[in-house]
Amino acid sequence: MDLSALLWPKSVALVGASDDPEIIRGRILNIMRRHDFTGRLFPVSRSRDTVQGLRAYPSVTDCPEPVELAILIIPADAVAEELTRCGEAGVKAVMIITSGFAEEPGGDGGDMQAEICRIAAHYGMVLAGPNAEGLTNTAAKLCATFSPTMELDGAPLVPPWRSDDRGGHIAVVAQSGGGGFSFFDRGRPRELPFSHIVTTGNEAALESLQVVDYLIDDANTGVIMMFMEDVKTPGLLATVAEKAVRAGKPLIVTKIGRTDAGARAAASHTAALAGAYDAYRAMFRRYGIIEGFDQDQMVDLAMGFSFHGRRLPAGKRAGIFTASGGGGGWLADACADAGLTVPELDAATRAKIDPLLPAYGTSQNPVDGTAQIIREKGYAEMCEMIAASPGIDMVLAVASARNPTGWRRERDKLLRVGAEMQKPIFLWAYTLPHPDVRELLSQAGFPLFENMRNCAATAAEMADYRAFRETYLKPVAVAARPDDGRYETVAAALAAAGPVLCEYQARGALAAYGIGGESSVLATSTEEAVAAAAAIDGAVVLKVQSPDIPHKTEAGGVAVGVQGGPAVAEAFDAIVAAACAHAPDADIHGVLVQPLAGAGVEVIVGVHRDDQFGLMMMVGLGGIFVEVLDDAVFAPVPVDAAAARQMIGQLQGAPILEGARGGPKADIDALIAIITGLSAFAADHDAGIDEIDLNPIRVHPAGEGATVLDALIIKRRKP
């Protein structure tokens, strides 16, 4: 979508402009004038000939030249008529600041929003909003917003030393206007360069992901922050996120609506319906989207990528330099919490550093140079020496940034090292930084963090992003689906079955994909159950089979560890009686008889259809882990072996599968085979299924496989 008229307009009409800078209609014009917009600006007012010293026009049709962007801040019930006038005048894009549309429950807001969409589509106009807070394009000095964050009192929108073509500028796209401009407000004092801030409000027509798609192509934009309430067109998330990965432009996203309260807030604010957070998180993981949870954390993440986007750490080995032994140890702990390692420096590097240190210093890592080495060598040279170690991927320095005198003294070194360094260097200020120090470090190319944990976490996220992207961009050979008839066999079985396939039916379908093929027999009488059990060596399990009784244990429909003919007969009769009592109208197909499985770790694997993003794979540890600790990981289908292994590793209880506390290591390869087989089944038969549950799977010790203890398939309901 071409958004140039919205984001790079040569002429802007402000419809509803006011002389009063204290009200929103006047504040927008006042802010726009402060920043010397490079295009033409036309106030539109029906009541005044001049507004804030500029000639005003009664209508967009009366402006002396064609208007590319119209900003509407007039009563909601007048917007449709004005939008039609804009269309007739050839306006290419409209930003509607006005609220009072679909975000307000009841009334005519929803109908008015639908009407403005129809008008915009009729005239082919780009429509942003309504209920937006405007936008900013710093290169064009276009600040079409009433946000007070743009009232900079003469300060430049972008630090002068970041106004060149080095890239690394930060774009913000937000459904929440206040949230979007707050990132700029917190980032600009950190000397961060922003390219755009775009708020999308209700997203009646233009979606935030469409804006992101456009900004990925902006040469100066290197990282994009998003304040996301929902995704109107789910397919856009994968498409745009993949484009960002390929362009090497990380997306840093906060998604509200993770809780019931958050979801209510999203709906009341912009008429958004927050999607299931687990599905969003799964999509974020699949496409390398970095999730943030508060403003400062997100700004710090963006700062790291802005400064070091072209030299991402190649690994997670951190070198630490400090003049404070305690500070170095504290930062080392933060690095460990973030998943970084702090290895001892190699002998050659230590041999170069040791002669510079006083007797009470150390070069092990953290390198404690004490205050003496700071005075003699400075931060830049010491960080450079540590970065030269082949066993280090990045350097984190603990600094006092309160007094600018020493920093000014090593200005030339800072500028040289900043220009020549191949590995990223991050600084954490344990004192509040002096503005001159922050400015100098920004010029030299060093991100300065005030939050120690954010410093370490940013470095780790950047290493993860590089690793993710390198893996993602590797060409992968896609194996053709085997022409062995399994697809047709399963499709026929699904078509013949009712809405729910109980275990014996599900096993029959899944067995074609190598899942759940354990021996079992459906018995429809006591005699058949006894005969089936007699053919099995050892104790058996009996389970009622009915599409109307998905939770068999609750219905008294399961008997475990039964052995011997009389016991089997008694268990069969008891199960059928309990099931009939629990659900008198249930269609009971019989009782499944199968061997008692050996010991192992219980895992749940399943697939469910998310309303927005389609089929999602779920892997979780059974029992208390999934029920109480919510220990489950989701990923969009398809899931290959590498992704399956990663999902297992992300479980809180993963150490149990690895043999924690002296226990045997579980057969993780067998579990991966089940996950990938189920993924292939789900992908092949996407149109026909809504849910699959393999609950539980017992994963036996390594080399002994895994047993599917129960299975259920729910066919696709009406789309």
pLDDT of residue 259: 66
How many C-alpha atoms does 544 have within 13 Å on its Cβ side? 28
∠45-90-23 over CA atoms, to 5°?
25
Determine which helix (DSSP H) or strand (DSSP E) holds 656, and give its type and residue range: helix 654-657
pLDDT of residue 639: 96
Question: Which residue ranges does the chain devote to CATH 3.30.470.20?
Answer: 601-715
Distances (CA, A) of 632 to 293, 313, 561, 626, 627: 20, 30, 29, 6, 10
For the question of whether the overall pTM of this predicted structure is more than 0.75, the answer is yes
pLDDT of residue 268: 32
Residue 483 has pLDDT above 80, yes or no: no
Question: Which residue ranges does the chain devote to CATH 3.40.50.720?
Answer: 1-132
pLDDT of residue 266: 43
Distance CA 277, CA 258 (A): 5
**Residue whose pair of structure tokens reads 């036309």 in the numeric block:** 42
Instruction: Label residue 370 by pLDDT band (50, 70, 90).
Output: confident
1-132 fold: Rossmann fold (3.40.50)
- The CA-based dihedral angle spanning residues 257, 260, 263, 267, taken in that order and rounded to the nearest 10 degrees: -170
How many C-alpha atoms does 648 have within 13 Å on its Cβ side? 28
∠548-554-559 over CA atoms, to 5°?
100
Pick the CATH number of 601-715 from 3.30.365.10, 3.40.50.300, 3.30.470.20, 3.30.420.40: 3.30.470.20
* Cβ atoms of residues 289 and 283 within 8 Å: yes
Distance CA 571, CA 558 (A): 9
Residues comprising the chain, all counted: 719
Q: Which of 402, 401, 406 is nearest to 446 (CA)?
A: 401
One DSSP character per residue, 611-638 reads: TTTEEEEEEEETTHHHHTS--EEEEESP
Higher pLDDT, 269 or 118: 118
* Class of domain 311-472 as given by CATH: alpha beta
Question: Six-digit token pair at 366?
Answer: 């953290």
* Cβ atoms of residues 539 and 561 within 8 Å: yes
Residue 627 has pLDDT above 70, yes or no: no
Distance CA 74, CA 43 (A): 13
Q: Which of 718, 691, 710 is nearest to 505 (CA)?
A: 710
415-432 residue pLDDT tens: 999 999 999 999 999 999
pLDDT of residue 262: 52
Residue 477 has pLDDT above 80, yes or no: no
> Residue 702: how many CB atoms within 10 A of its CB?
15
Instruction: Label residue 270 by pLDDT band (50, 70, 90).
Output: very low
Question: Which residue ranges does the chain devote to CATH 3.40.50.261?
Answer: 158-290, 311-472
What's the average model confidence in pLDDT over 659-665?
A: 85
CATH-assigned architecture of domain 519-595: 2-Layer Sandwich (3.30)
Higher pLDDT, 550 or 232: 232
Residue 278 burial by Cβ neighbours in a 10 Å radius (0-12, 13-18, 19+): middle
Q: Phi, psi at residue 606, to the nearest 5°?
A: -160, 175
538-547 residue pLDDT tens: 999 999 999 9
Residue 274 has pLDDT above 50, yes or no: no
pLDDT of residue 582: 95
What's the average model confidence in pLDDT over 128-149?
A: 96
pLDDT of residue 104: 85
What's the average model confidence in pLDDT over 610-615?
A: 91
One DSSP character per residue, 238-283 reads: HHHHHHHHHHT--EEEEE--SSHHHHHHHHHHHS--PPPHHHHHHH
pLDDT of residue 164: 62
58-105 residue pLDDT tens: 999 999 999 999 999 999 999 999 999 999 999 999 999 999 999 988
Higher pLDDT, 324 or 507: 507
CATH homologous superfamily of 158-290 equals Succinyl-CoA synthetase domains (3.40.50.261)
**Residue whose pair of structure tokens reads 């067995």 in the numeric block:** 511
Q: DSSP label at 481?
A: P
Share of the chain above pLDDT 90, in %: 83
205-262 residue pLDDT tens: 999 999 999 999 999 999 999 999 999 999 999 999 999 999 999 999 999 987 665 5
Distance CA 44, CA 47 (A): 9
pLDDT of residue 66: 96
Q: DSSP label at 140?
A: T
Question: Which residue ranges does the chain devote to CATH 3.30.1490.20?
Answer: 519-595
Across 467-476, 611-620, 654-663, least confident range: 654-663
One DSSP character per residue, 77-133 reads: GGHHHHHHHHHHTT--EEEE----STTSSSTTHHHHHHHHHHHHHHHT-EEE-SS--
One DSSP character per residue, 318-353 reads: EEEEES-HHHHHHHHHHHHHTT-B-PPPPHHHHHHH
pLDDT of residue 517: 81
* Cβ atoms of residues 569 and 530 within 8 Å: yes
